[in-house]
Homo-oligomer: A and B are copies of this chain.
């Protein structure tokens, strides 16, 4: 995909729906010329607002549909903006389940202007079914109490901090935003169900004994819509180490107002039990809490009390980093 990017946020109703935009803006700001928002958009990255014409002027090569939503659909009303970007010479990239070429106006504009359409969620790779054989090298997987709680940010922060200590570590993207950031990986929730574990095994093959794959987790074993993806990824990733990620102000499971957030200890137990099917030595090595909605003192109290309660290092990867967790890896 050609850089730099113009991040398109559409008219999404909250920040979580713009999590692809936030992910790219936070981790790859140098790749972005700005954000483009439609009237009513309730999300905002740190990037400057711009228009298609101004972004093209600034050299934007690809319009990134930088939103996520349950089901991965896109409103028809966004096509005008996408076509405008194509007419200004941009390629278009999307991480949604729907393919860009399924919108006739977009397909036609791309053909007319010779621009490319990237459907990042759809891998061209053919996967086998999972085998469960122990692979060489080491793996860490981030798991969550819920969707959108910081599994990707935690994995990226772990990669950053492990590399800073001279460790041999690679982030492995398993979702569309991660694939945009890493420029490789597989959106595991878009794989045919029979191949979830097989795709996770493909993503993290045999490696050097001291090498760590830091695998981005997906969903939650306690989310009624997505737990199958989470369990298949847990089995296929075959982690030696797990880090549990949590967002402490969430009142219910994402998109399911009737479903309570599971207890952290229960999450730890369920993930360890699942992981041991393919790696009997798997351990939980730490907890990552997204404290962005708390003030400094409240955040600190929560981190310390959770640490005391669970007996595991407990950090916010975006404020204090992940060193306390990395200390537990051997």
Contacts and interface: CB of A to CB of B under 8 A. Distances in A.
A193 interface: yes
Contacts of A255: 129
Interface string A192-225: 1110111000000000000000000000011011
Number of copies: 2
A191 interface: yes
A310 interface: no
A194 B193 CA distance: 8
Contacts of A258: 132-133
26 contacts: A70-B128, A71-B129, A97-B192, A97-B194, A131-B256, A132-B224, A132-B225, A191-B193, A193-B196, A193-B228, A193-B232, A194-B225, A194-B226, A194-B229, A196-B229, A197-B224, A197-B225, A198-B225, A224-B235, A224-B236, A224-B278, A227-B232, A228-B230, A228-B231, A228-B235, A270-B273
Given A129-B255, A222-B277, A277-B222, A72 B228 contact: no
A130 interface: yes
Interface residues of A, number: 43
A194 B72 contact: yes
A266 to B, nearest CB: 10
Interface centre among A71, A128, A221 (most CB of B within 10 A): A71
Contacts of A130: 224-226
Contact of A131 (B97, B192, B225): B225
A289 interface: no
A70 B132 CA distance: 14
Contacts of A274: 227
**List of 5 A-B pairs having minimum Cβ-Cβ separation, nearest first:** A228-B232, A132-B224, A130-B225, A189-B194, A228-B228
Contacts of A189: 192-194
Contacts of A188: 193
Interface string A54-84: 0000000000000000111000000000000
A47 interface: no
